[in-house]
Amino acid sequence: MTTARQAYINAVVANYVRLPGTPLRASRGDRQFAGVLYDRHIPLRVVYDAFVLAVTRREIRSPDLPRHPAIRTLHFFRGAIDEVLQGGTHGGYIQYLAAKIKPLVAQKEQELTRSRTAG
């Protein structure tokens, strides 16, 4: 039986690993941080919006600039979560940004699928 807390953690982790620049698997620390977000009563929508905001800022930039290093932990999104909680975004803007990163997320999902079938 899945508890509400476990379902929340699973949802956060599933979306986290779909993001460009993140690991293919979440760490124990990532799952623990997702549990902290649940315990703080952070809505999944806020976490999703923070993911979109942070990844867009990171990935949509001049191709002349060097690539950022990989995101190694879910904690990377803490600042964006706080920003969304403070009302720093609007739904229409997040939808616009989500459309911008959709091809990158699709690439990552293909990578996840390949890693699951190979392992």
Query: pLDDT exceeding 90 applies to what percent of the chain?
Result: 76
Per-residue model confidence as pLDDT tens digits over 52-62: 999 999 988 87
**pLDDT, average across residues 34-42:** 98
What is the DSSP track for 59-91? HSS-TTSPPPPPP--GGGGHHHHHHHHTT---H
Q: What mean pLDDT is predicted for residues 45-73?
A: 90
Domain boundaries, the chain: 4-118
